[in-house]
Each structure stands twice: as C-alpha cells, then as structure tokens.
C-alpha cells in the first residue's frame, strides 16, 4: 500500500529537516493532520489564531535558519556587473554601505559585509530589520538610518559619493523624499565617480523606487565574493571618518532610561516587536544581535514564541505596545501551555502613539479613534498562567527588570508610559533625510 497524501507531506518535511510545525486544523488539511497523529518526528504547536501560527513560524525560521512550517486549512549574471562596482568603489572618497535584512538572510552575509567594510574602511548604516548584521560598537557603524534613524547615518547617506546597498529595498521610511535621496552619490554616478550600487536577490526590489547606477542581482554573499578580489584595501579615510565622528558628537544618541539604564539589556539578544513606537524607539536605542519587527500589528508576541522554540537557550523578549499586543494577546496562553520561556515588555500609554503623533502634527490634534481602553494586562496574563507585574515608578526599574530576567517561565512586565510623546529623531514625510528633527521644539517650529 502506498503513502497517503498526508504521509507524503510529512516525508517531504522530514527530508527538509523540519522538526517543528505550527498550525490550525480544518477540513481541507485534515489528511496531513492525520498523518501527524502518530508521527514522532515533529513537535506541533497549536496557536490560538492562524495569523499567530504564521508569525510564530516566521520567528522560528529567522532564529533557526530552518524552514518555518505552517499548516492551515483552505479559506479566504553577476561577474559582468562587478566591474562597474569595483570602479565606483575605487573612485569614491566618501562611501557608505546601506545594509538591509537581505544581509542577514544570506548565509555568510554578515561576515561578507564586515569583510568589505574593514577592507575598504567604509561606514555602515542599517535598516531596522538589518540590525545585527554589523557590529554596532565598531567605529564604522552608523546604526539605523531613515525616518527614525540616527542623524549621523542620515547625513552620511546624503553626503556620500557612493552608496552600496546590500539586501535592502529603498523603502520610503529609509529614503525620505525620493527626489532628494543621496544627491551627492547620484551626481557622482553621472560622472562615473561613484553612484548607487544595489546588491539584491529579489527582482521586484530592483530599480523600483531608486534608479541605481549598477545592480548585482543575486545572493549578497555571492555578489560580494565576486567583488572582493577587486577591492583596493584602504586602512583609513581620515577626512570622511573624521566628519562622521564630528556628527556623532554633535548628534549623540539619548537612550530611553527605562530600557537602557541598566545592564539587563545585555540579556536581550533576541528582540521582537511590532510596528509603532516600541519598534522605532528600540531600533536605535539598543545594542542587540537580532531585532525583529514587521509592518503588521500583532507580530511581536507570536514571533517571540517561534524564536524561543528555535533558540531555547537564548533570552527572547517581545517589546510591544499596548495596541499591538492586544491583537495577539491570546497567544500568551500558548507560551504558558507549552512552557515557552519568553519575556514580554508591554509599553502601555493607552493610545496608538505613532498615529497620535501624526494626528497632532498634521490634523491639529484631532485624535480620531486612536485611543483605546485596554484590559488589565497583568490580570489577563495571570489568567492565562503567566507571571506578570507592573512598573509604575522609575525608581523601581532595576527591581522589575531583575524580576523579568530571573523569572523561570514566561513572564510579562507592563510599563506605564507617558502618552503624546513623539518618537525622535524624526524625518517628517516629504522631507529629505538630512532635514531631521531632534527635539520637540523643532517639531512645532516645523509646523509654523
């Protein structure tokens, strides 16, 4: 007797070294679930919502570098292009590397990036999801660029005569006003003295938003491997690196005291988050190995569950806003049921902070449907079998963070935060990257 369709699926998954599956049963997928019933090769995680299964699988895949599998039912030429790249790199005086998540997705991407930056002394700016691909304590690190990036990263991009984009898609949150993005590099490209070079594997991202002077399509590591033999080693770029050092002194980071005051952040090597204030604030205020967020509210909690399953010995923390956490709140019961030891830090201001920031500036403080009445997160977590506490006073930061880190099982810490606090720095829509707002006073001055 041959294999059933469900058994064939299971066999295929085994051959791909899959050992963890997330899913929600239904009529059309029952043959596969039936095959799983007596199969000891897989650990099955049953979420509370199909969307949660997808986010858990994504977190698992990113942390393990293995396929993230979701089971749900039916329903609603590199070599020829390297030459212009090496010529541009040779002629450039002020190069910058702009690195995205594609670097982390490439097997040796981070290693190749570090090799290029070191060999040619090139400063590196990353996107939010590219964080972790380059050592942010390296003097060449510019940290995150874009709408809520560091001032020195944005200024470097605007004044660079060569921008090397690695595994990045030129999202509008990165470029600011498209017509005024990287003006010096664009001018240098016309003179064949620099320009914008894009290393990218996904065709839809190529020349979609920014027209590049050269494109190397394919895996980032493969492209850089072809480039390395032609890279002229440069030990230092004193004028360019000196300018960057001056920008770093003029526009220093001011980390949020509640999250970076102590040494507890050293434990947080895997961070998930959602769209909104928490992800943008933590993006440039924390030094972490891996930082994950997505444009989908409700991503952080289930992604943390998936990441912890893939990295059981790592500290995994979901830093979430109250509105985003509410969208996947029920998945806390999954962490409790399976004993998945994640930490949840929910920043509660009882509003959609990013939305109210825009409403204050662009709609004369007409806060239309951007506030909500939240449940008691501590009681909800307790009701699902998760330890939880609340931080009300700044003086209790150390004790509360110590409790969160030391908790043996999944735990939640709710932090009451001030509302109507703008996320800074900030490049307003329609502005160029170097027109960056650093203070609250600058925000209101920009509206006059």
CA atoms within a 13 Å half-sphere pointing along the CA-CB vector of 20: 25
Name residue 21's beta-bridge partners.
44, 69
The verdict on pTM exceeding 0.85 is: no
Asked if 188 and 93 touch (Cβ cutoff 8 Å), the reply is: no
Q: What pLDDT score does 353 carry?
A: 67
Of 371, 354, 441, 356, the C-alpha closest to 173 is 354
Please name which of 288, 287, 276, 335 lies closest in space to residue 55, comparing C-alpha atoms. 335
- Residue 111 confidence (pLDDT): 94
**Beta-carbon count within 10 A of 152 CB:** 25
Phi/psi at 294 (nearest 5 deg)?
A: -150, 165
Query: What's residue 261's pLDDT?
Result: 44
CB 134, CB 99: distance < 8 Å: yes
Q: What is the DSSP letter of 146?
A: S
- 178-193: b or e for each residue (b if 16 or more CB lie within 10 Å)? eebbbbbbbebbeeeb
Cα separation of the two ends of the chain: 78
Tens of pLDDT along the chain (448 residues) come to 688 888 999 999 999 889 999 988 877 788 888 889 888 889 999 888 877 888 888 888 888 878 889 887 765 544 445 666 776 777 789 999 999 999 988 889 999 999 999 999 999 999 988 888 999 889 999 999 998 889 999 999 999 999 999 999 999 889 999 999 999 999 998 888 889 999 998 888 889 999 998 888 888 998 898 888 888 889 899 999 999 999 999 988 655 544 544 455 555 567 777 765 555 555 444 545 555 555 678 888 999 999 999 999 988 989 888 888 988 999 999 999 999 999 999 988 887 766 777 677 777 778 776 777 889 999 999 999 999 999 988 888 889 988 998 999 999 999 887 766 667 777 877 889 988 877 767 765 665 5
pLDDT for 262: 44
Domains of the chain and any CATH numbers: 5-71 (3.40.50.970), 78-250 (3.40.50.1220), 257-416 (3.40.50.970)
Cα–Cα distance, 302 to 300 (Å, whole number): 6
pLDDT for residue 45: 92
In this prediction, residue 77 carries a pLDDT of 40
Say if residues 165 and 199 touch (Cβ distance below 8 Å). yes
Helix intervals (H) in 329-431: 332-338, 353-362, 377-383, 397-406
Q: Which class for 37: exposed (0-12), middle (13-18), buried (19 or more C-beta within 10 A)?
A: exposed
Query: Which residue, 256, 249, 253, 227, is CA-closest to 166?
Result: 227
According to the model, what pLDDT value does residue 187 have? 94
């Amino acid at each position: 007797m041959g294999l059933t369709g469900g058994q064939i699926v299971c066999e295929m998954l085994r051959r791909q070294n899959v050992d963890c599956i997330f899913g929600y049963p239904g009529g059309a997928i029952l043959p596969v679930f039936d095959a799983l019933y007596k199969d000891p090769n897989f650990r099955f995680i049953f979420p509370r919502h199909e969307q949660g299964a997808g986010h858990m699988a994504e977190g698992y895949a990113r942390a393990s570098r293995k396929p993230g599998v979701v089971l749900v039912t039916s329903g609603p030429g590199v070599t020829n292009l390297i030459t212009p790249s090496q010529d541009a790199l040779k002629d450039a005086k002020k190069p910058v590397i702009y690195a995205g998540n594609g670097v982390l997705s490439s097997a040796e991407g981070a290693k190749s990036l570090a090799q290029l930056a070191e060999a040619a002394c090139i400063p590196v700016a990353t996107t939010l999801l590219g964080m972790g691909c380059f050592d942010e304590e390296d003097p060449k690190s510019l940290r995150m660029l874009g709408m809520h990036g560091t001032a020195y990263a944005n200024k470097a991009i605007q004044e660079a005569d060569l921008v090397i984009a690695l595994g990045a898609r030129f999202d509008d949150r990165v470029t600011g006003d498209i017509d005024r993005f990287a003006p010096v590099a664009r001018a240098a490209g016309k003179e064949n003295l620099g320009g914008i070079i894009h290393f990218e594997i996904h065709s839809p991202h190529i020349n979609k938003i920014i027209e590049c002077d050269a494109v190397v399509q394919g895996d980032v590591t493969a492209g850089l491997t072809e480039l390395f033999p032609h890279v002229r080693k440069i030990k230092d770029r004193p004028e360019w690196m000196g300018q960057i050092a001056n920008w770093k002194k003029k526009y220093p980071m001011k980390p949020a005291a509640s999250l970076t005051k102590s040494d507890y952040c050293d434990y947080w090597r895997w961070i998930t988050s959602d769209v909104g204030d928490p992800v943008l604030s933590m993006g440039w205020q924390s030094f972490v190995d891996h930082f994950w967020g997505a444009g989908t509210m409700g991503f952080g909690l289930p992604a943390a569950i998936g990441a912890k399953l893939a990295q059981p010995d790592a500290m995994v923390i979901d830093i979430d806003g109250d509105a985003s956490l509410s969208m996947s709140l029920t998945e806390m019961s999954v962490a409790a049921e399976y004993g998945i030891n994640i930490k949840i830090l929910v920043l509660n201001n009882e509003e959609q902070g990013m939305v109210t920031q825009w409403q204050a500036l662009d709609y004369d403080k007409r806060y239309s449907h951007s506030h909500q009445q939240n449940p008691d997160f501590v009681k909800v977590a307790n009701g699902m079998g998760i330890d939880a506490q609340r931080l009300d006073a700044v003086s209790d930061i150390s004790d509360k963070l110590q409790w969160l880190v030391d908790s043996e099982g999944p735990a939640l810490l709710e932090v009451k935060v001030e509302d109507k606090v703008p996320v800074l720095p900030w490049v307003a829509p329609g502005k160029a990257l170097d027109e960056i707002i650093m203070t609250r006073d600058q925000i209101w001055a920009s509206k006059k």
